[in-house]
C-alpha cells in the first residue's frame, strides 16, 4: 500500500508537476440508485420511490428497475430524507433526481443531483401515479405541490 501511494505521488508529480493525489473510498458491489423528488416555493418537498440503474453499458443505463429489489424501506426512507435535505438546503423548486452509490451493507453515498426531469421519469410516474410534468407546471406557476410525503 505504501509503495503504491509513493508510486502514485511520483506519477502525479511527473505528469502534472503536483504530487497531490485524491484517495477515494472503495465501494463494494456498488448499486446506482436515484431518488426522484419534487419541491415547491412554499417549502413543500416529497421524494418518490427510487429507480435502480445499476446495469449500464458504456456509462449508459440499460435497465431501470423500480422500485429497487435491493433497497429496504428503512434505507429508502433515509435516502429520500437525505435527498430532500439537499434540495431544501439549496432552495430547489421543481422535479429533480438525486443519485447515490449504495454498497453491499446499504450505506449510501451522494453522487450528484440532476436539476431537471430525466428521460426515465415515466418509470416513476408509472409506479407512483404522480404526473411529474403536471407537478412541475404547478410549481412553476407558484402553486403548492398537490401531494405530501404522508
Using alpha carbons, select from 39, 31, 38, 36 the residue that is nearest to residue 108. 31
Q: What's the angle, vertex CA 6, arms to CA 2 and CA 10, rounded to 5?
A: 170
Element (H, E) at 32: strand 31-39
* Residue owning grid cell 412553476: 140
Candidates 31, 76, 88, 116; catalytic one: 116
Bridge partner residues of 109 (DSSP): 101
Q: Could you confirm whether 116 is annotated as catalytic?
A: yes
Residues designated as active site: 116
Amino acid at each position: 500500500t505504501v509503495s503504491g501511494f509513493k508510486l502514485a505521488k511520483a506519477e502525479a508529480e511527473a505528469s502534472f508537476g503536483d504530487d497531490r493525489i485524491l484517495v477515494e473510498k472503495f465501494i463494494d458491489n456498488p448499486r446506482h440508485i436515484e431518488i426522484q423528488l419534487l419541491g415547491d416555493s412554499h417549502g413543500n418537498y416529497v421524494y418518490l420511490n427510487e429507480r435502480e440503474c445499476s446495469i449500464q453499458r458504456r456509462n449508459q443505463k440499460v435497465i431501470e428497475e423500480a422500485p429497487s429489489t435491493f433497497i429496504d424501506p428503512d434505507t429508502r426512507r433515509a435516502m429520500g430524507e437525505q435527498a430532500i435535505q439537499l434540495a431544501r438546503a439549496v432552495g430547489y423548486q421543481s422535479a429533480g433526481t438525486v443519485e447515490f452509490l449504495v454498497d453491499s451493507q446499504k450505506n449510501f453515498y451522494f453522487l450528484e443531483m440532476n436539476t431537471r426531469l430525466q428521460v426515465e421519469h415515466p418509470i416513476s410516474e408509472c409506479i407512483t401515479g404522480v404526473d411529474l410534468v403536471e407537478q412541475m407546471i404547478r410549481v412553476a406557476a407558484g402553486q403548492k405541490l398537490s401531494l405530501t410525503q404522508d
